[in-house]
Amino acid sequence: MRFRPCIDIHNGKVKQIVGGSLRDQGDWAEENFVSSQDAAFYARLYQEQGLTGGHIILLNPPASEHYGETKRQAKAALAAYPGGMQIGGGITQENAEEFLDAGASHVIVTSYVFRDGKIDYERLERLVRAVGKERLVLDLSCRRKDGVYYIVTDRWQKFTQVPLDHQVLDALHGFCDEFLIHAADVEGKASGIEAPVAALLGDWGKCPVTYAGGIGCREDLLLLRELGKGRLDVTVGSALDIFGGKLAYREVLEICQCYCEQIERQ
């Protein structure tokens, strides 16, 4: 279980928000933390720790008046840690190369490969041809409706008709290098993980998967490790002390590092 760091940028600031509260209208979100540091500061911090595979997320749509500053912050982080982080938020076939050239190791895509609530395989295939499977991460973040977890798009605001299940993971993993999955209903709440999502992903385990959402304490990390059967990587945001939370950043690194070393010895 590797720790995957994050840099979420909203209205030109590094923030931690309650994911389900995000609204494009008015560029509003319920904020847990707004940093006085810029995105490049966090990128350099992660670089110093030798952390790779983390993600930078632009939380404003391109139509937002704040998008330009959010994008500038994101590119500054990529420049500070070239090749060390992935980037997502409004990525399409047309702009993916721009972010890869700016230093992203991978681009993270959701909304572009869905149309009318369904997977648009033609768009997905074009995207793969443009950037290469090995540099593409599919974000299959989900929310629960009528007892089913559905993939959501447009910054977690819009439900698709596609459930998050093994059949969908099987269909999509041949197009990408890995998956990023936020359990959006608990994202930013530090109230505990979505256990059914973690168990579903842990039972699958055919390519790298990063889970995010709800982690608030050491026990949540240990439960994720158990339910994920050691197959899931983890992102922690609002709960971390570097983002104003109570969970020590270094403790999270130690838990994940110790587990990785244990697996290597087996």
The predicted pLDDT at position 227 comes to 97
List CB contacts of 182: < 8 A, sequence separation 6 or more: 19, 139, 141, 142, 156, 212, 213
> Cα 196 to chain center, whole Å?
18
The Cα–Cα gap between 12 and 4 comes to: 22
Instruction: Look at residue 19 in the predicted model and tell me its pLDDT.
Output: 86
| Pairing label, strands 13-17, 31-34 | antiparallel
Domains of the chain: 6-265 (3.20.20.70)
Angle at 112 between CA 86 and CA 120, to 5 degrees: 125
pLDDT digits (tens, 9 = 90+) for 124-172: 999 999 999 999 999 999 999 999 999 999 999 999 999 999 999 999 9
Spans of the chain below 70 pLDDT:
258-266
pLDDT at 260: 53
CA 170 from centre of chain: 20
Quick one: pLDDT at residue 151?
A: 98
Q: What is the pTM of this model?
A: 0.94
Cα 75 from chain centroid? 17
Rounded CA-CA distance 132/127 in Å is 8
Output phi, psi for 90, to 5 deg.
75, 20
Q: What is the pLDDT of residue 256?
A: 87
pLDDT score for 215: 97
Q: DSSP readout, 200-256? A: HHHHH-SS-EEEES---SHHHHHHHHHHTTT-EEEE--TTBGGGT-SB-HHHHHHHH
Strand 148-153 to 158-163 pairing: antiparallel
